[in-house]
A = this chain, B = another copy of it.
Amino acid sequence: MEEHIKDPNELLNSIEELHPTDIANSLKKIYKNNSDEFYFVLKQLPDEILGEVILELPEYIREDTYGELSSEQLTDAVEEMDSDDQTDIIQEIEELDKEKAKEIFEGLEEENQQEINWLKRYEDDEAGAYMQTELFSANINEKIGDSIERLKHLKAEGELENIHQVFIINDDKMLLASISLEDLIIFDFEKTYEDIVNSDDNKYKPFKVQDDEDIDFVAKQFEQYDLSVVAVVGYQGMLIGRITSDDILDVIEQNATEQMYQLAGVNEEFEHEDNLLTTAKKRGIWLFINLGTAVLASLVIGLFDQTIQQYVALAILMPIVASMGGNAGTQTLAVMVRQLALGEIDYDNSKDAIKKEVFISLVNGFIFALIIGFIASFWFSTAMLGVVIALSMVINLFSAGFFGASIPLILKKFDIDPAVGSTVLLTTVTDIVGFFSFLGLAKVILL
């Protein structure tokens, strides 16, 4: 694992021994150096491996291959994929070349076409969009041994992999139970599934989710119940697919990325654009909002222009108060947003969370008030200047803690993602409170 073969012929010779992920990683390196060699290898890959390799390539390379590979070769590769991957790839090709996507789609087996049409109806955040329809199910009246014979055939045809469970259904395809292979393998193969299921109702109760369930909720279920697979059911509890833990790993990683980006004012969706101007524009929108709040803060400073003119030390010191408030607030915000997402903070304990943050910010407020108070007094040889900056430090760090904790909660109450926009809202508060308290107190106390 993790070694790259850079010679195309050597790579082709080792294909049998390599995992598709490793082939993709090697191809990625080859693509960078010489795209002719890349396609030389790609076009000679057997269909099944080609399909898996395409899925493991980064999106920007994958999109290039759609133009280079023939419709026939792509059709054969897609045919070998699981239904969820088939759907993703067809949709990806559609965005680049509607005609080619149609050709490939129509080249697929009837059954695959129907599955893709079904899966395409799901929204990006629905469980159904992450499920694969390939699974191993058995009728409750089936003899275990018979179903294992079926499994043998399905596996020989390459139709099934990563089977950890057999899903038990009735004649109406309603999901009744789920039996892990480790339980199945020790049973008498002459018995029927009914015999197993009746032996222990609870043990074989299936973990299932509705097809339109939010995928984030599904991910939470995986974490809470330590699942490796979950059944997806549709109309009237009919079994229609399954979601496996490897899909959920991706969901969790993706969610964390989005959240981190949102806190920083970045829209993840537009970060992988070919056209950097689009990325710049999307980031620019957040910067524009920030410009608005910065101008607002300047208007507050403008209220005190005469005070500043009389006392230029104020201009020198004022960014300190705002900066400290912004940083303390960012700390609080990160903790609140993340703990809300992880479910560690909910409405039951939101008051405790606010109290905690206010306490922490007040403790640090008093400590840094003392420090900066002394610094300012000695720097400008004016004791009262120290008092002014110390007071405004306490006020601003208090608002950082209070608003840093409240803003995400309020956003959530209005069903807005707490990570989106909370940073801008918060720095607006800490800037305005910081400048206003510092300059206002200076005007009252110093002049």
Residue A312 at the chain B interface, CB threshold 8 Å:
yes
Q: Is the CB of B186 within 8 A of A356?
A: no
Complex interface bits, A296-328 against B, C-beta within 8 A gives 1, otherwise 0: 011001100100110011111111101110011
Which residue, A16, A276, A298, A372, has most C-beta atoms of chain B within 10 A? Answer: A298
Which residues of B lie under 8 Å from residue A227 when comparing CB positions? Answer: 246
Q: Is the CB of B323 within 8 A of A301?
A: no
Q: Is the CB of B319 within 8 A of A319?
A: yes
**Segment among A40-48, A93-101, A361-369 that sits at the interface with chain B:** A361-369
Q: Is the CB of A182 within 8 A of B164?
A: yes
What is the bound-complex CA distance between A259 and B253, given in angstroms?
Answer: 12
Majority-rule SS of A interface residues: helix
Complex interface bits, A174-200 against B, C-beta within 8 A gives 1, otherwise 0: 000000011111100000000000000
- From residue A287, how far is it (CB to closest CB) to chain B in Å? 6
What is the bound-complex CA distance between A323 and B423, given in angstroms?
Answer: 13
What is the bound-complex CA distance between A223 and B152, given in angstroms?
Answer: 28
Residues of A83-138 whose CB lies within 8 A of B: 136
Residue A232 at the chain B interface, CB threshold 8 Å:
no
Q: Is the CB of B294 within 8 A of A342?
A: no
A283-B253 contact, Cβ under 8 Å, with A261-B338, A330-B264: no
Residue A162 at the chain B interface, CB threshold 8 Å:
yes
Which residues of B lie under 8 Å from residue A435 when comparing CB positions? Answer: 319
Which residue, A182, A257, A368, has most C-beta atoms of chain B within 10 A? Answer: A182
Complex interface bits, A224-256 against B, C-beta within 8 A gives 1, otherwise 0: 111110000000000000001110111011001
Which residues of B lie under 8 Å from residue A367 when comparing CB positions? Answer: 284
Which residues of B lie under 8 Å from residue A294 when comparing CB positions? Answer: 319-320, 323-324
Q: Tell me how many chains of this kind the complex includes.
A: 2
Which residues of B lie under 8 Å from residue A32 when comparing CB positions? Answer: 348
* A201 nearest in chain B by CB position: B17
Q: Is the CB of A372 within 8 A of B155?
A: no
* A349 nearest in chain B by CB position: B32
* A18 nearest in chain B by CB position: B202
A327-B360 contact, Cβ under 8 Å, with A184-B185, A253-B223, A312-B305: no
Residues of A387-434 whose CB lies within 8 A of B: 427, 431
Which residue, A16, A21, A226, A359, has most C-beta atoms of chain B within 10 A? Answer: A226
Which residues of B lie under 8 Å from residue A263 when comparing CB positions? Answer: 260, 263-264, 334
* A435 nearest in chain B by CB position: B319
| A16 partner, pick from B202, B318, B322, B324, beta carbons under 8 A | B202
A316-B302 contact, Cβ under 8 Å, with A155-B186, A226-B246: yes
Q: Is the CB of A327 within 8 A of B290?
A: yes
Q: Is the CB of A305 within 8 A of B301?
A: no
* A334 nearest in chain B by CB position: B264
Residue A61 at the chain B interface, CB threshold 8 Å:
no
| A327 partner, pick from B248, B253, B286, B371, beta carbons under 8 A | B286
A228-B338 contact, Cβ under 8 Å, with A32-B348, A202-B17, A284-B364: no
Q: Is the CB of B298 within 8 A of A308?
A: no
Which residues of B lie under 8 Å from residue A185 when comparing CB positions? Answer: 148, 151, 181, 184-185
- From residue A427, how far is it (CB to closest CB) to chain B in Å? 8
| A228 partner, pick from B228, B280, B319, B427, beta carbons under 8 A | B228
Query: Could you jot down 29 A-B contacts, CB within 8 Å?
Result: A32-B348, A184-B185, A185-B185, A223-B249, A223-B250, A226-B244, A245-B249, A253-B256, A256-B256, A256-B259, A257-B342, A259-B260, A260-B334, A266-B334, A276-B360, A277-B363, A280-B360, A283-B328, A284-B364, A286-B327, A287-B328, A291-B324, A298-B316, A308-B308, A308-B312, A308-B316, A309-B312, A319-B319, A319-B322
